[in-house]
Amino acid sequence: MKILCVSDHIDPLVYSTQIKDRFRNVDFVLSAGDLPMEYLGFIAGSMNRDLYFVFGNHNLKKLGLFKGHTSNYDIEDSLPHPALNNYYGSTYIGGRIVKTKQGLLIAGLGGSMLYNGDENQFTDFQMFWKIIHLVPRMLWNKMVHGRYLDILLTHAPPRGIHDRADPPHRGFESFLWFMRRFKPRYLLHGHIHLYDLNAQRVTSYHETAVINVYDHYVLNIPDSGERTDNAVQIPQSQENSESQQIHREDRA
């Protein structure tokens, strides 16, 4: 299974008349935020693929269209559903969990760390409570599907992994707890711009591969949503990426 991931930057390789041919084997698309809705609409319409997204801390003009809809739905059973607000051919999953047609369980947590009080910025405590609201559905997933989650889609990175020291680009500590407790196979984020093609994109943290999907990144994963072992397998991508094992003491 192939997933086209986009974030933060309008990529001419994606925003192209060749998009359908270039990414013809992609099953669906994920956006980690800070992109105009018109760009997402172009991708969804040109590729004729499902697109799921979260908002970042920029390009929030259309955020009001999607506010207040935080229910959980099985996409395969519920589309079209008015509460999903499928504008621009793109489905907002901030604060909710969806099950895709391919059987993957995906949660979305958008926004960045609070730094100037603008919209869609949160303290770590506020983000932790957003996570708590997802727990009932994840417990249900564990009982029914045998796993809590496959992918956590965020805008900001976890604290200490791919983040930076300045307040706007600092990661969330609560994401570290999330990964230790609920063990998603992947955490996909944006927010941290990469201008060096050799810059590190992929880091292993416990059982989760944390991937910076800035610009665009094609994620190749097994077709089955089931976890086959307890080890993180660093995914293959059309991008050059390196992996680094994070060694730190777990925090309660």
Q: What percent of the chain has pLDDT over 70?
A: 80
* 8 A C-beta contact, residue 109 and residue 130: yes
pLDDT of the residue at 165: 93
Say which range, 55-64, 169-178, 216-225, has the weakest mean pLDDT. Answer: 216-225
Residue-wise pLDDT for 104-142, tens only, equals 999 999 999 999 999 999 999 999 999 999 999 999 999
pLDDT of the residue at 14: 97
* 8 A C-beta contact, residue 201 and residue 209: no
State whether the Cα torsion 21-26-29-33 is positive or negative: negative
Residue-wise pLDDT for 58-72, tens only, equals 999 988 888 755 455
Looking at residues 165-172, what average pLDDT do you find?
95
- Domains of the chain plus CATH, in order, are 2-220 (3.60.21.10)
Say yes or no to pLDDT of 235 above 90: no
* 8 A C-beta contact, residue 49 and residue 29: yes
Amino acid (1-letter code) at residue 135: V
Going by their DSSP bridges, the two strands 215-220 and 2-7 should be labelled as antiparallel
pTM, to two decimals: 0.85
Please state whether the peptide bond connecting residue 80 to the residue before it is cis, i.e. omega within 30 degrees of 0: yes
